[in-house]
Chains A and B, each alone.
Chain A
């Protein structure tokens, strides 16, 4: 009777743990990835577009494997205990209150798991945070409520005021509402770009999820971060630090162009004269030209 109980409990526990692990790992580690922007109903990180985001995805995957394992293990263990030691199956409770070996084991095991997590995590942190030699510098300033970008190295490029497109405008432009702006930040591909982030009044946070960067814009302080985009395209982000009523309405749009186009863009005082301009319907224009 008792052994039958144990077998049933064991089978249920193992099946439950395995299934839940598979589900959690599936949910945590797959799903459509948005390319530079969120994807409909997505449940995974956006596609990695920078080396840092690639590494971040790897660390995320590792940690997800581990934490899904922990959750599945605890679930299986609970299921086993709940079936095997229910009142009917085990009418006489034991009185054990100590097991030194066990207690040491469940202190040491988490330490080892945490070390396993900590090493790649520290690597990621230092790679992400230590600013590489950068070739392009842009300054992003959070205003209430839009972002403005300047190129400190290129005084001919006027300040880009990046206002969000409203519903009809974004529909007309075929761009996602609440992500698209009327003037994107333009940067070259395969180049280390340094971003200086600051704010003029409230705090904001300059975020591009697919680049794996998020940096608070704090008045009076200039924060630095960097990225290196792997491909050309348009990438979106949203302000990520509460800044007042239009917090949801100050998106970030980054347009990554080829180095040649970027050079041309700079030379033209911040406007495209190539076909890129037609493809991007006004993005990249400066505020003055609007």
Chain B
């Protein structure tokens, strides 16, 4: 592999250590610094990722062969399924991409010294441990007569989540999700204000880096979708109180299907909330390592806006089988297919950015290329699932599981790792070990594909989701899938080895712009890591013919 420029050169100025950081406790617990809060978010995401990953590993072990071997009973398996979904979405992906990278790099990229509301920024973070504690408590309090914890899957459909789980376990989840929701709403307000109000002189909206664009769109999605989730969670909460409301109780005129509408009105924007920041990160990486500016910048930015807008009007494609009117299904079918168009624009623009470039295959670029390809794989199965007719066969089968893990476990997560390696030196001042990072990439890449590609076959063969035990016809591909879990586990181990090596053993500082000429955004003009407060003199973005 080519030596990275800057890897072996001493940093230009070591301005990091003399800028009046507060003491340890005040710095990390009372923080009002966007970079420190970003680091906290990343640590939090790694911890949650470990918990969520452990849950999924146990699920894979259970499913490795027919029969119920690992879990005490079926309820415990369903608890693991539900908590895996909730923790990975709300406490791993969202804190990593929005809280972590968004906090770290959005202010720097737009040339701002900090977020608009630094204190509220920290409130967004500290609500998350509160939320996670609530979710963890729910593991050990009664869910229903079958055991502790909530086993109604992350979609929380009533009546399974109301009369089906009368114990306090689900109430804790509601409270936790409300806390996480408010955390994200405050974060969204903060990002929108920062991006609209604090861009450096000369940085017009149409010159703003694509990652900032992606976070802006994401923040609007959060702002408009999460309150609806909050309302539906309150409805669940009061429905569960003995003698409470009857929103979802058919015996009192309520409508259990209505929860699905409310939930997916939030839930579909939510999947774009998880993937759009990854789009932004990948755009920067592709441009940097091709040493070329983004191809079709405006198209890229407005494709994300289009995805965000259309994302609000397609929610019911998650519920084709609930017995909707056929014309309604036809509308949602058409609207869902439309999303493929802006997504295609993004894929082709990335490829066009690489075309004619001078491509270097560093670790972040490997993750980004894998992201692009695997996202295409996950995206096209989405086209399949959009067909309401075919969905009658595939709905709630493992085909769906494979689809959304291709776009999330390989899309969003690969985007997170790509960004993590891309900005690693910038955030921590030291570079990762290339060999360990490479091992992490290849093991993870092979592992997740071995886990999830066979799940397409399981779905086509007819295996439904959320099954603790299955007919032995499904055994072969489940076994293969579970082997992939071991490979992925090895990849995760290398990730932690890499972290330990880089952060504890390796004290060699990297330079300001260690990726060289392709890296053009503002974070590369700062030292690595950046000073505690950057841009005391605001940068001025020169008038260029631009994009």
Verify whether A and B have any Cβ pair under 8 Å.
yes
- Identify the A interface with B (CB < 8 A): 27, 31, 34, 37-46, 53, 55-56, 59-60, 63-64, 66-67, 70-71, 74-75, 77-78, 81-82, 85-87, 90-99, 102-103, 106-107, 109-111, 114, 117-118, 121-122, 124-130, 176-179, 197, 201-203, 205, 207, 209, 212-216, 218-221, 223-224, 237-249
The reply to whether A248 and B468 contact each other, CB–CB distance below 8 Å, is yes
Nearest Cβ on chain B to A60's Cβ, whole angstroms: 5
Bound form: Cα–Cα A231–B215 in Å: 55
The reply to whether B384 and A40 contact each other, CB–CB distance below 8 Å, is no
The reply to whether B473 and A39 contact each other, CB–CB distance below 8 Å, is yes
Bound form: Cα–Cα A197–B392 in Å: 15
B501 within 8 A of A: no
With beta carbons under 8 angstroms apart, the residue of A70, A95, A107, A216 that contacts B292 is A95
Bound form: Cα–Cα A86–B464 in Å: 44
The reply to whether A97 and B151 contact each other, CB–CB distance below 8 Å, is no
Contacts of B359 in A (CB 8 A): 81-82, 85-87, 90
Bound form: Cα–Cα A220–B164 in Å: 16
The reply to whether A56 and B293 contact each other, CB–CB distance below 8 Å, is no
The reply to whether B151 and A203 contact each other, CB–CB distance below 8 Å, is no
Q: Mark B142-161, 1 if CB is under 8 A from A, else 0.
A: 00101000011101010110
Chain A, residue nearest B337 (CB): A114
With beta carbons under 8 angstroms apart, the residue of A107, A114, A207, A223 that contacts B323 is A223
The reply to whether A178 and B151 contact each other, CB–CB distance below 8 Å, is no
B390 within 8 A of A: yes
Bound form: Cα–Cα A122–B290 in Å: 42
Bound form: Cα–Cα A273–B321 in Å: 37
The reply to whether A248 and B467 contact each other, CB–CB distance below 8 Å, is yes
The reply to whether A121 and B390 contact each other, CB–CB distance below 8 Å, is yes
Q: Which B252-279 residues have a C-beta within 8 angstroms of A?
A: 254-257
Bound form: Cα–Cα A130–B73 in Å: 41
Nearest Cβ on chain B to A82's Cβ, whole angstroms: 7
Contacts of A125 in B (CB 8 A): 326, 329-330, 333, 387-389
Contacts of B251 in A (CB 8 A): 220
With beta carbons under 8 angstroms apart, the residue of A70, A219, A243 that contacts B250 is A219
The reply to whether A117 and B159 contact each other, CB–CB distance below 8 Å, is no
Nearest Cβ on chain A to B441's Cβ, whole angstroms: 15
Pick the most buried of A97, A197, A201: most chain B CB atoms within 10 A of its CB. Answer: A97
The answer to whether A244 and B383 touch (CB under 8 A), given A85-B359, A110-B340, is no
The reply to whether B2 and A87 contact each other, CB–CB distance below 8 Å, is yes
Contacts of B337 in A (CB 8 A): 114, 117-118
The reply to whether A43 and B457 contact each other, CB–CB distance below 8 Å, is yes
The reply to whether A86 and B361 contact each other, CB–CB distance below 8 Å, is yes
The reply to whether B326 and A70 contact each other, CB–CB distance below 8 Å, is no
Contacts of A124 in B (CB 8 A): 387, 389-390
The reply to whether B461 and A39 contact each other, CB–CB distance below 8 Å, is yes
Chain B, residue nearest A126 (CB): B326
The reply to whether B470 and A70 contact each other, CB–CB distance below 8 Å, is no
The reply to whether A130 and B326 contact each other, CB–CB distance below 8 Å, is yes
12 further contact pairs, Cβ within 8 A, besides A74-B372, A122-B330: A43-B456, A45-B393, A46-B462, A74-B376, A114-B341, A128-B392, A129-B326, A209-B393, A218-B322, A241-B321, A242-B157, A248-B467
